[in-house]
Chain A
Amino acid sequence: MSERQILLEAHEVAKHFGGVKALHDVSLTIRRGEIYGLIGPNGAGKTTFFNCLTGLYRNEGGYFVFDGVKLAADAPHKAAEVGIARTFQNIRLFGNMTAIENVMVGRHLRTGAGVLGAITRNAATRAEEAAITRRAEELLHYVGIHERAHDYAKHLSYGDQRRLEIARALATEPKLLALDEPAAGMNGTETEALRVLVEGICRDGVTVLLIEHDVKLVMGLCNRVAVLDYGEKICEDVPAVVQKDPRVVEAYLGGSVA
């Protein structure tokens, strides 16, 4: 595999909480333009891996190479800056801001107006504000919730909140979009709509890293899948192979099926 093809390389990432080894030398590579699934039973370390990648946690061992550059992920905003955007397992929107304002916050990183610009409201700042609003509207359209643009985030339905979180993440212009259980709590129709959305995002050139419990969704959507169990990667391959791997079956069903 050539260097150009690899977007993210995790190299022996380790993290422990006290005596608990949450991640045990996890290595994986994500290629440009793919949808990469990260699955595993509860407590396998999937979210911990996400938090290390996005700088919320500091990993004790190993490192990440993103887009050819080693990540000094000691601050979450830096991860966002290099192009890693994420959503959260338990949705974390700015509840008392409107949907469009949430997305506008996502534009913070790629815009530059400071205090002086805000106070003088000069032509450059006004143009930038207009561009922020326009982009936010486009993104709300893109995820299909533009009709709720001026509703408060906490008043949106569950599925719409998930979509809004994705729109906010996309506003940071990521190269890698990391989704933490986006289908959790969704019904069949909503999950199907989400699948279409994620496929669209990938087609538009954003690589997707997906943590998911819904095995059916992962198998149908992902190009490749890694399985974590007790903080260790036990398998990494295309869905069809992963599904049949005995270690994966064991991890999910618990013990040997005698």
Chain B
Amino acid sequence: MNDRLRKSAAWRQHWVGLLLVGATLLAVPFIAALGGQAWVRIANFAILYVFLALGLNIVVGYAGLLDLGYVAFYAVGAYTYALLASPHFGIHLPFWVILPFGAALACIFGVLLGAPTLKLRGDYLAIVTLGFGEIIRIFMNNLNAPINVTNGAQGITLIDPIRIAGFSFADTTNILGLTISGPQKYYFFLVALAIAIIIINVRLQDSRIGRAWQAIREDEVAAKACGINTRNIKLLAFAMGASFGGIAGGVFSAMQGFVSPESFSLMESITILAMVVLGGMGHIPGVILGAVLLTGLPEALRYGIEPLQRALFGRMIIDPESLRMLVFGLALVLVMRFRPAGLWPSSQRRRELTESTD
């Protein structure tokens, strides 16, 4: 009896927590819209980076493979969407065809990248993946001749927005007296996708495959001796991670209506890696926090520094753009100095970094 009471109390707490999170998620786009649609877009990008960070987390956090070329998969997904839903080739497929296709294509690229790097570890792996990321970007930049596939540095424009049952995500609609803007629609679409991706990640982590990834990270030789085919399991990590990057890329294309190679620079890979490391490698809530913070903070600084300076000194002293990167960099250094396992690490990761492993 007592036990049942305690159980139902725990359940109630659980549900209250879920309801609170749900209510917050529902309210965000409307609160953000008070500061302008730009803030809704920022929220959307934060969620997009959650996809990317969670994908990279599989490779870096679970399997322990340092990947500096992750943005390549983002690019593959983005260009897949752009080419299959724009006037560039005159193809206009619906998003629910392209997104899975882009994810599958990114998956294949993940395996292509993974295969030659299987014997490499740490720094060497990082260099090879870095090269791969650059190759993809340079391909996108130069694949406009002899056949114009990617339209080179000009990028691809007029990409179709996501449409569900003839209901476009590009413009504003009125539903039951409620005005919902395009970015707000994307927001809900992204939240739904994010929930699915988070569930997939949690389930993968607590599975036979997740344990194998963890074992490889801990001790590859012992993992092999336990009968784990480390080649396949590593490739699986690359493939799974890449597919999330591909989905993120597709949504990015649809949301922006425009893609060009400059969106997929090395800096982007590094930012995503920073999100994973800063948030807490291998820990899903930490990685989400890292992605949201690293997307939100620079934007908040962008909009906050100018009024702050005017309020303090009455005039502009330092150019907001340069101060923004300075503050951002300093924040990264401080977090890594005082919380080396990340802002919100898994209990396991914390142990690894605070205790010697013999």
Query: Would you give the 0/1 interface string for B332-358, flagging 1 where the beta carbon is closer than 8 Å to chain A?
Result: 000000000000000010011001011
B230 with A97: CB separation less than 8 A: no
B236 with A96: CB separation less than 8 A: no
Question: What residues of B have a CB within 8 angstroms of the CB of A132 in the complex?
Answer: 208
B209 with A115: CB separation less than 8 A: yes
Question: What residues of B have a CB within 8 angstroms of the CB of A169 in the complex?
Answer: 225-226
Q: Which of B212, B227, B230 has the most CB of A within 10 A?
A: B227
Residues A117 and B207 in contact in the complex (CB < 8 Å), given A96-B351, A96-B352, A97-B214: yes
- Taking the complex as formed, is A150 at the interface, i.e. its CB lies under 8 A from any CB of chain B? no
Question: What residues of A have a CB within 8 angstroms of the CB of B203 in the complex?
Answer: 118-119, 121
Q: Which residue of A lies closest to B223 (CB)?
A: A105
Question: What residues of A have a CB within 8 angstroms of the CB of B226 in the complex?
Answer: 77, 80, 105-106, 108-109, 168-169, 171-172
Residues of A within 8 A of B (CB): 54-56, 75-77, 80-81, 85-86, 88, 92-97, 101, 104-109, 111, 113-115, 117-119, 121, 125, 128-129, 132, 152, 154, 168-169, 171-172
A93 with B227: CB separation less than 8 A: no
Q: Which of A55, A95, A125, A129 has the most CB of B within 10 A?
A: A95
Question: What residues of A have a CB within 8 angstroms of the CB of B168 in the complex?
Answer: none
Q: Which B residues between 239 and 262 are near A, CB-CB below 8 angstroms?
A: 240
Q: Which residue of B lies closest to A103 (CB)?
A: B226
Q: Which B residues between 28 and 71 are near A, CB-CB below 8 angstroms?
A: none
7 tightest A-B CB contacts, nearest first: A109-B227, A80-B227, A118-B207, A76-B224, A94-B218, A92-B222, A105-B215
A115 with B211: CB separation less than 8 A: no
- Taking the complex as formed, is B204 at the interface, i.e. its CB lies under 8 A from any CB of chain A? yes
Query: Would you give the 0/1 interface string for B226-237, flagging 1 where the beta carbon is closer than 8 Å to chain A?
Result: 111110000010
Residues A108 and B212 in contact in the complex (CB < 8 Å), given A77-B229, A85-B225, A88-B222: yes
Q: Other than the known A105-B211, A105-B215, A118-B208, what 6 A-B pairs have Cβ atoms closer than 8 Å?
A: A77-B227, A93-B222, A97-B214, A118-B203, A119-B204, A121-B203
A108 with B357: CB separation less than 8 A: no
A137 to B174 CA separation, bound complex (whole angstroms) = 58
A154 with B358: CB separation less than 8 A: yes
Count A/B pairs, Cβ under 8 Å: 110
B209 interface neighbour in A92, A114, A171, Cβ under 8 Å: A114
A92 with B221: CB separation less than 8 A: yes
A94 with B227: CB separation less than 8 A: no
Residues A93 and B219 in contact in the complex (CB < 8 Å), given A118-B210, A119-B200, A121-B203: yes
B201–chain A nearest beta-carbon distance, Å: 10
Question: What residues of B have a CB within 8 angstroms of the CB of A154 in the complex?
Answer: 355, 357-358
30 cross-chain CB contacts under 8 A = A54-B225, A55-B224, A56-B221, A77-B226, A77-B227, A80-B224, A80-B225, A81-B227, A88-B225, A92-B219, A92-B225, A93-B219, A94-B214, A94-B215, A94-B218, A94-B222, A96-B348, A96-B357, A97-B214, A108-B228, A109-B227, A115-B204, A115-B209, A115-B236, A118-B208, A119-B203, A128-B208, A154-B358, A171-B226, A172-B227
A96 with B218: CB separation less than 8 A: yes
Q: Which residue of B lies closest to A173 (CB)?
A: B227
A56 to B219 CA separation, bound complex (whole angstroms) = 14
A104 to B230 CA separation, bound complex (whole angstroms) = 16
A161 to B236 CA separation, bound complex (whole angstroms) = 30
Q: Which residue of A lies closest to B214 (CB)?
A: A97
B358–chain A nearest beta-carbon distance, Å: 7
B332–chain A nearest beta-carbon distance, Å: 25
Question: What residues of B have a CB within 8 angstroms of the CB of A125 in the complex?
Answer: 207
Question: What residues of B have a CB within 8 angstroms of the CB of A119 in the complex?
Answer: 200, 203-204
Question: What residues of B have a CB within 8 angstroms of the CB of A56 in the complex?
Answer: 221, 224-225
Q: Which residue of A lies closest to B232 (CB)?
A: A77
Q: Which residue of A lies closest to B356 (CB)?
A: A154
B224 with A75: CB separation less than 8 A: yes
